[in-house]
Amino acid sequence: MVFGFKRNRANDENSNVPFGTVQMPTPPSPPPVYADNDDDYEKELDSQKSIDLAYEVTEHDTLNENERWPTSEELATMVRVADHVPPRAFLIIVTEFCERFTYYGVSGIFQNYIQNGYKVPGSNPGAIDGGKQMATGLGNFFQFWCYITPIFAAIIADQWWGKYKTILVFAVLYLVGDLILTLTALPSSIRSGGALPGLIISMIIIGLGTGGIKSNVSPLVAEQYQRNRPFIRKLKNGKEVLVDRDTTIQSIFNWFYWAINVGSLSAIATSELEHNVDFWPAYLLPTLMFVVCIIVFWLGRNRYVRNPPSGSILLVAVKCMVTGFKQSRKAKKAGHVITREDGKKASWMDYAKPSNMLDSEESENAAWNDNFVDELHRTLRACKVFLFFPVYWLCYGQITNNLVSQAGEMNTGSVPNDIMQNIDPLFLIVFIPIFDKVIYPGLRRCGIVIGPVTRIFVGFLLAAIAMAYAAIVQHLIYTSGPYYDNPGSNHNDISAAIQIPAYAFIACSEIFASITGLEYAYTRAPHNMKSIVMSIFLFTNCGGAILAFAFNPISADPKLVENFAIASGLMGGFAFLFFACFFKYDRKDRMANKNR
């Protein structure tokens, strides 16, 4: 049970309770009685008390009809299932769908917009005529910018506005960027040279809006599910199941990610519009959808669970870590060595606990308590997993730049080359419900629980396979005539349909790596650090964009085979290194679930 800085009051953005106030959870309903004698009854009560202490019990952990608390034996042996997703969470999921419709609708056609000239006969659609390297470079900048801004937005949400207000304000900013992009894509603006400066300004503004939404919307949707403690539910057929929070959060994020990919299909519409009409209507469509996004999100304002801002945890966390480092050095010099309750040697973070500080004055003035240090230590442990994600995002980012250009060098028939990237979300729309409703539950019924580290490892391997396949496709393009390894804006005699397996591998990798990363960031973070941890996970996209900048010199013909092959090799190597470093985490999680 976690105390410290936990707050559970919903719809209270303006709480006057000071930061750091300890709040005790509301006791759960009495445990069931299964005992035939007093001794067994007392044992059952003791078992239920230990279960209470293993969970962060809130006032929402009460029983409804046909529900009861599980025994410790049932916790260890029963298959865990997901609960129903709250209706208010679907409002946020619809909001995310609209936002992603806009994001992918505009960014999905950036490569052509930047790379090619305007209305050039026999060429793919374009506007700026900046070439392949400029298009890839600006695309990487946009990715970098969109995923560094969540850090600042998370601080704003935690310190002042809360998640709901932060999302709403940044959404309005996002809409301004969309309008600038649409207006500067008008034919008169393109011909007068306004397309490039308009694009850069809109990229900066849309990136700010994206950061404000992305760092807060995924924690907000998960917060709509309020029950923490597992419970037994009796189904209509008389069967009893163990409903589990972590499994429910996994399901929520599966559907959240499913909505993202349905929204990303907007690139099909915008690609057709740029190809058959012009760029300004292609940008106008997602701009209008974003108006719908703001309206839908605002309509749910009185339904959402809204936890109040509790102060910027990031600043306190940094000070806490600095204090831990200084105190550990001071303690070692003084010969003051401490051990944990389990008998293991204390880490440098443990010396930041006020109870372990040598200086009593510094201990009294600390802005945190012992429990906060434990939570921060758990957060840092979780964030180690994210260190390997930049290489994954390097591979994933190829979808919107180099794979688009690759399709432009092949025969696509009457289909625009940048419409091929939508094969990825189409696969995800089909695969995610199958994994959520069939594969994962089926494995759990067989007693097979795939831990988050193993799922991420599989996702990394699939991304490596996707890049290896893309390298093979690029080699086939270069060995096909009539233009061979220098096709430019022309097409070699090879069908773009051969790209489909690369997108299928990437889609499967997202289910295992990207969705699990979101779930891991949320479930492993303490309550008051969820926005920060989520933004740190999103920040790994920036690492991928930085790596992509290093690949820019080989992101052009005739070096694209090297580009894909090196990305594949890096991803494969990092996948096995990741598993070697963290495979023990899954085992610890399994043991913790059995012992809780």
pLDDT the model gives residue 56: 63
Q: At residue 202, does pLDDT exceed 90?
A: yes
pTM (2 d.p.): 0.74
- DSSP secondary-structure letter at 94? H
Burial 424-463 (b: 16+ CB within 10 A, else e): bbbbbbebbeebbeeebbeebeeeebbbbbbbbbbbbbbb
Instruction: Locate the domains of the chain by residue range.
Output: 87-309+377-595, 313-368
Helix pair angle (423-434, 245-264), 10° resolution: 150
- Rounded CA separation 142/208 (Å): 10
* Helices within 21-156 (DSSP H only): 38-53, 72-77, 87-107, 110-115, 131-156
- CA neighbor of 573 nearest in space, from 471, 469, 472, 463: 463
How large is the average pLDDT for residues 353-361? 82
- CA neighbor of 74 nearest in space, from 92, 108, 47, 46: 47
pLDDT tens profile 400-429: 788 988 998 999 888 888 888 889 999 999
The sign of the dihedral angle between the CA atoms of 369, 373, 375, 379 is: positive
- DSSP secondary-structure letter at 67? E
pLDDT the model gives residue 505: 95
Q: In what order do the strands lie in the sheet with 240-243?
A: 67-68, 231-234, 240-243, 80-81
Given pLDDT bands bounded at 50, 70 and 90, which one contains residue 262? Answer: very high
Q: What is the CA radius of gyration of the chain?
A: 26
pLDDT the model gives residue 17: 36
* Mean pLDDT of the chain, nearest integer: 84
Please state the three-class secondary structure of 515-528 as a single string. HHHHHHHHHCCCHH
Where are the extended beta strands (E) located within 377-526?
none
How large is the average pLDDT for residues 445-454? 87
How large is the average pLDDT for residues 108-126? 90
- Rounded CA separation 455/399 (Å): 21
**Residues contacting 549, CB < 8 A, separation 6+:** 137, 140
Q: At residue 305, does pLDDT exceed 70?
A: yes
CB 347 within 8 A of CB 490: no
Structure-model confidence comparison of residues 584 and 566, the more confident one: 566
Given pLDDT bands bounded at 50, 70 and 90, which one contains residue 16? Answer: very low
pLDDT tens profile 30-61: 444 444 444 554 544 455 545 554 566 677 78
CA distances from 107 to 203, 213, 266, 472 (A): 9, 17, 10, 26
How large is the average pLDDT for residues 68-87? 89
Structure-model confidence comparison of residues 21 and 56, the more confident one: 56
How large is the average pLDDT for residues 335-346? 77
Given pLDDT bands bounded at 50, 70 and 90, which one contains residue 332? Answer: confident
How large is the average pLDDT for residues 86-109? 92
pLDDT the model gives residue 592: 64
- CA neighbor of 394 nearest in space, from 469, 463, 470, 462: 463
How large is the average pLDDT for residues 125-129? 94
Q: At residue 538, does pLDDT exceed 90?
A: no
**Residues contacting 430, CB < 8 A, separation 6+:** none
CA distances from 195 to 104, 155, 206, 514 (A): 19, 33, 16, 33
Given pLDDT bands bounded at 50, 70 and 90, which one contains residue 470? Answer: very high
CB 161 within 8 A of CB 309: yes
* CATH tag, 87-309+377-595: 1.20.1250.20
**One-letter amino acid of 498:** I
Report percent pLDDT > 90 for the chain: 44
